[in-house]
């Protein structure tokens, strides 16, 4: 029988155990995200897959924020995050740690997500851009490459939180703790 499990039966770790636990070597950079609710959703996805850290840049809202809290449901307390006034500063910070950085954007020469090889074990970072303008061109130019999600409908983009969920799920399944 497929009886729904209660939250208490899921045996999830607490916030302190989460902070001490090994993380997937996955970083996410948000490049001027307008919607605080999208930011909260991405916090929650980062928690679900136990990713390393979230870098919030430019106009992206930061905790504590009522609209982030609506969708993060407490993930702002478990996920490590840092704010940078400029996205390029975040890239410099991660490149100093020898982290490969990829823009999630439709570009000439982009690689489809399902073809992206994340199995090498090296930490990776993914940049998600503004809901209207996408990832800034100067940021794309500073990345190690671009990745896009195959789409088959009439629209040319996905909601940024949905996009982040797809990318994080795909990559988290390929990299080890």
Q: Are 24 and 177 in contact (CB under 8 A)?
A: yes
* pLDDT mean over 104-119: 94
Confidence label for 118 from pLDDT (cuts 50, 70 and 90) = confident
Q: Are 37 and 68 in contact (CB under 8 A)?
A: yes
Which residue is it, tokens 């897959």?
49
8 has pLDDT over 90: no
Confidence label for 9 from pLDDT (cuts 50, 70 and 90) = confident
46 has pLDDT over 90: yes
Report how far residue 101's alpha carbon sits from residue 81's, in angstroms, rounded to the nearest whole number.
Answer: 17
Q: Are 94 and 27 in contact (CB under 8 A)?
A: yes
* pLDDT mean over 94-108: 97
End-to-end CA, the chain: 32
Task: Specify the pTM.
Answer: 0.95
82 has pLDDT over 80: yes
Edge-to-edge, what's the strand order for the sheet holding 51-57? 81-84, 51-57, 24-31, 124-129, 100-104, 145-148, 111-112
Give the pLDDT of residue 119: 79
Burial code of 21-30, b = ≥16 C-beta within 10 A, e = fewer? Answer: eebbbbbbbb
Report how far residue 149's alpha carbon sits from residue 112's, in angstroms, rounded to the nearest whole number.
Answer: 6
121 has pLDDT over 80: no
**Long-range CB contacts (< 8 A, 24+ apart) of 154-157?**
156/106
83 has pLDDT over 80: yes
Give the pLDDT of residue 45: 98
* pLDDT mean over 84-113: 97
149 has pLDDT over 80: yes
Percent of the chain's residues with pLDDT above 70:
100
**3-state percent breakdown (helix, strand, coil) of the chain, nearest 5:** 35, 20, 40
Closest C-alpha among 28, 43, 32 to residue 132: 32
Report how far residue 137's alpha carbon sits from residue 20's, in angstroms, rounded to the nearest whole number.
Answer: 36
Percent of the chain's residues with pLDDT above 90:
88
CATH number of 28-172: 3.40.1280.10
């Amino acid at each position: 029988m497929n009886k729904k499990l209660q939250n208490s039966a899921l045996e999830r770790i607490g916030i302190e155990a989460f902070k001490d636990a090994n993380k997937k070597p996955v970083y996410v950079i948000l490049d001027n995200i307008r919607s605080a609710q999208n930011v909260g959703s991405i916090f929650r996805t980062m928690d679900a897959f136990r990713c390393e850290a979230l870098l919030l840049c430019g106009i992206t809202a930061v905790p504590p924020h009522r609209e982030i809290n609506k969708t993060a449901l407490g993930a702002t307390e478990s996920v490590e995050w840092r704010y940078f006034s400029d996205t390029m500063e975040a890239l410099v910070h991660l490149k100093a740690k020898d982290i490969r950085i990829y823009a999630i954007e439709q570009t000439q020469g982009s690689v489809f997500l399902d073809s992206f090889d994340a199995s090498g074990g090296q930490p990776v970072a993914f940049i998600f851009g503004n809901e209207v303008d996408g990832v800034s061109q100067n940021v794309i130019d500073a990345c190690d490459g671009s990745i896009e999600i195959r789409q088959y409908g009439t629209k040319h983009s996905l909601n940024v939180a949905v996009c982040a969920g797809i990318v994080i799920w795909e990559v988290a399944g390929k990299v080890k703790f």
